[in-house]
Amino acid sequence: MLTLATGNKAVAAAVKEARPLVIAAYPITPQTEIVEQIAEYVAAGELSSQYIPVESEHSAMAACIGASVTGGRTFTATSSHGLLYMHEMVHWAAGARLPIVMANVNRSVGPGWNVWAEHTDAFSQRDTGWLQVFVSTVQEAYDATLMAFKIAEHEGVLLPVMVNLDGFTLSHIMQSLETVEIGDFLPPMHLPHAIDVEQPCAYGPLTGPADYFKFRWDIERSMRDAPGVIAEVEREFGERFGRRYGPTEDYRCEDADILVIALGTLGKEAEVAVDLLRAEGVKAGSMRLRWFRPFPDLDLRGRDVVVIDRDYSFGFGGVLAHSIRSKTGVEPFSVIAGLGGQEVTYDDIADFVRMHTPGTEYWFGVNGHV
Amino acid sequence: MYEIRIHSRGGQGGVTAARLLALAASRDGKYATACPFYGAERRGAPVVSFVRIDEEPIRVYSQIRRPDLVVVLDASIMDVVDVLQGLKSDGLVLVNSTHAWNGNRHAGRHVDLTGIALSLDLVVAGSPIVNTPMLGAIAKMGIVSLDSVRDAIAETFADDRNVNAAEAAYRELVV
């Protein structure tokens, strides 16, 4: 069915279609609309999930962990300080190999108190063992949320997935949304290590170094298998529903001399910048990175690269720029832009390309010292 | 791409107006986005929201800086906000007003949306509803079809007076 929805409502509609056993959540701007909409579905009897309005994000993730470990599908949504507050449980969910799906509506971290888009919240959970995908349209928010359940629950993965969408810029704007009937694309969840609540036993005992080490390696082994699973799920989704996705969305990249690499809505806006630059004779392309964990293999040899980071690792640099450099060996021009919802237009992005100076860092809107 | 900037006061329904307009455009078979600008709004403070309409998927998320059409739901905003900022030289202005507004070098249109709302007793919490009639005026300007405006409003609001108000504004606006 074709309708018009916000990014938040698209996520909620996908969750409704995925029919989780348990949804536990705590509201936070700009995510609140997701859990409000899901609560309405449950209240209206359109969704039979157990909805647990918990007292904090830490409890939201703990409740999802408890439900997931019994073998039930679970979902939660959060943002910024809420995600940081649940950090301990975010690690636990991955370590316990639970295929929980969470929408994170990307928002800056205070102070100063700011509710607008930034990727610092997601990157602060970078090393927890969660898969992370970043979306750029209302439709993609819907599709990625549905696929997230299938990827997370795949026996070759069994890790949680975080679906990231830019606060306000995507969460609160309205675009066309084509919803689907998911059918057997998403079979019932099967957790091989689910506990049997009818047969109580001790669970989660102290784990010595040798076993703990194996568990850690096992997470990494699944992370290394995940790109193949993601590709298979995205291919099947494309065949069934006609919308195709990959580790990156490449726009006019084939013959490009210079690529803009960005996440989320900035990656989409970059396509318009590419059109402007092409009209000037600059052979530019846009490579919007979708999957951040596992980080995809990118072949950037022989290209100039401009990376836009909507984040910063203080005392180090832009997280995405350094990820690109360490994974590809290419020395990018690192642009720090859009922090705290700073307005970044396609004209600005075209300027970043014109300014391209490999190996340097540029803070957009900050004069002088770089 | 056709870009519309709507100026209103917090609580006046400017965000809903943008969403309804995008919905009507999509019912016309076009791509549309409605982007409210979320700042530190309070009831009564000047706010803006944006609508983009195109034949192609829309890839722009930044604010509209060079609108084709500026809509002003409360004319008193023009005393404190430069609503013409960035308006294209051939751009249009639609003002909710009882009297003609001469938009120095820009083509100005006016229609009394507040009067239409009051005549239909379309008042919520003491405020006349001007966003649904606004859609009728925009349809008269040929940006969306009146049928799609009717559908978009009926899909969103149960009260028929909203559709009636849009039809009244469609009749009253002189283009």
Q: What is the DSSP string of A216-248?
A: HHHHHHHHHHHHHHHHHHHHHHHHHHS----SE
Smallest Cβ distance to B26: which of A4, A268, A346? A4
A268, B34: Cβ pair inside 8 Å?
Answer: no
A213-237 burial, b for 16+ CB within 10 Å, e for fewer? eeeeeebeebbeebbebbeebbeeb
Chain A residues in contact with B23 (beta carbon < 8 A): 4, 174
- Domains (range + CATH), chain B: 2-172 (3.40.920.10)
Q: Are strands A22-25 and A291-293 parallel, antiparallel or unpaired?
A: unpaired
Q: Is the pLDDT of residue A206 over 60?
A: yes
Q: What is the pLDDT of residues B35-74, one digit of tens each?
A: 987 766 677 889 999 999 999 999 999 999 999 999 999 9
For the residues A209-238, what does the mean pLDDT come to? 98
Q: Is the pLDDT of residue A306 over 60?
A: yes
Q: What ipTM score was computed for the predicted complex, to two decimals? A: 0.91
A281-310 burial, b for 16+ CB within 10 Å, e for fewer? ebebbbbbbbbbbbbbebebeebbbbbbbb
Token pair 């309708």: residue: A3
Q: What is the pLDDT of residues A323-340, one digit of tens each?
A: 999 999 999 999 999 999
pLDDT computed for residue B45 by the predictor: 87
Q: What is the pLDDT of residues A244-302, one digit of tens each?
A: 999 999 999 999 999 999 999 999 999 999 999 999 999 999 999 999 999 999 999 99
For the residues A162-175, what does the mean pLDDT come to? 97
- Domains (range + CATH), chain A: 2-181+200-241 (3.40.50.970), 251-363 (3.40.50.920)
Q: Give the Å distances, CA to CA, from A301 to A97, A251, A321.
A: 36, 17, 15
B31, A346: Cβ pair inside 8 Å?
Answer: no
> What is the distance, to the nearest Å, from the Cα of residue A218 to the centroid of all Cα atoms in its chain?
22
CB A152 within 8 A of CB A159: yes
B58 vs A: CB within 8 A: yes
- H or E segment to which residue A322 belongs: helix A319-328
Helix (H/G/I), strand (E/B), else coil: A276: helix
CA distance B154 to B88: 33
Q: Is the pLDDT of residue A171 over 60?
A: yes
Q: Are strands B2-9 and B46-54 parallel, antiparallel or unpaired?
A: antiparallel
Interface of B with A in 12-31 (CB under 8 A): 18-19, 22-23, 26, 31
Please list the pLDDT of chain B residue by residue as tens digits (175 residues): 999 999 999 888 888 999 999 999 999 999 999 998 776 667 788 999 999 999 999 999 999 999 999 999 999 999 999 999 999 999 999 999 998 877 667 778 899 999 999 999 999 888 899 999 999 999 999 999 999 999 999 999 999 999 999 999 999 999 8
Helix (H/G/I), strand (E/B), else coil: A252: coil
Q: Determine which of A5-9, A217-221, B79-83 has the lowest per-residue pLDDT on average.
A: B79-83
Chain A residues in contact with B38 (beta carbon < 8 A): 30, 115-116, 168, 172
The residues, ordered by sequence, that sit 6+ positions from A281 with a Cβ below 8 Å of its Cβ are none
Other CB atoms within 10 A of residue B43 CB:
9
The whole-angstrom distance between B23's CA and the closest CA on chain A is: 6
CA distance A265 to A286: 12
CB B92 within 8 A of CB B68: yes
Q: How confident is the model at residue A9 (pLDDT cuts 50, 70, 90)?
A: very high
